[in-house]
Amino acid sequence: MTQATNLSLLVLFVAFFVVYFSDLIGVIGSTAIMAAVVFVLVSFITGYFLGGPSRPIRRVLALGTAQRNLSAALAIATLNFTDPDVMVMILVVALAGLILLMFIGGEMGKKAKMPGGEIREQENLSSAPGK
């Protein structure tokens, strides 16, 4: 079921890009991208500070708070708004969140501590046998 959901969300996301491509290009140079970045970062910081005393839980809550529910936002926007700028802004926030949170999550993963307290080192996994 999750594969079908993920596939349908991907198809919907690509369809929105095709339909609203000219509007998305128009966003470049406006304050929409900066507003999306600020929104994602404020959400991340809020989730981190409200995540409780445990550092791993704070990290997870920060990422979860900053990664907004794209499916719900698209459903609400489709049913309640006719202005294409609403859809464009949802896509801008989704892209800004994807890019920022992948970078932030990767950095947090590099600095994660193992249960014993030692810092986990990134392993270079090779597909070659014997390595």
Q: Does the model's pTM come out above 0.95? A: no
Q: What is the pLDDT of residues 1-60, one digit of tens each?
A: 678 888 887 887 788 788 888 888 888 888 888 999 999 999 999 999 998 888 888 999
Percent of the chain with pLDDT over 70: 85
Cβ atoms 87, 18 nearer than 8 A: no
Q: Which of 20, 5, 1 is nearest to 95 (CA)?
A: 20
Which DSSP string do the residues of 65-86 spell out, in sequence order? Answer: HHS--HHHHHHHHHHH---HHH
Torsion (CA) 35, 40, 46, 48 in degrees, nearest 10? -150
* pLDDT score at 74: 82
Q: Is 26 helix (H, G, I), strand (E, B) or coil?
A: helix
33: which 2 tokens? 């991208």
Q: Which of 62, 41, 73, 12 is nearest to 33 (CA)?
A: 41
Residue 113's DSSP bridge partners are: 119
Cβ atoms 93, 100 nearer than 8 A: no
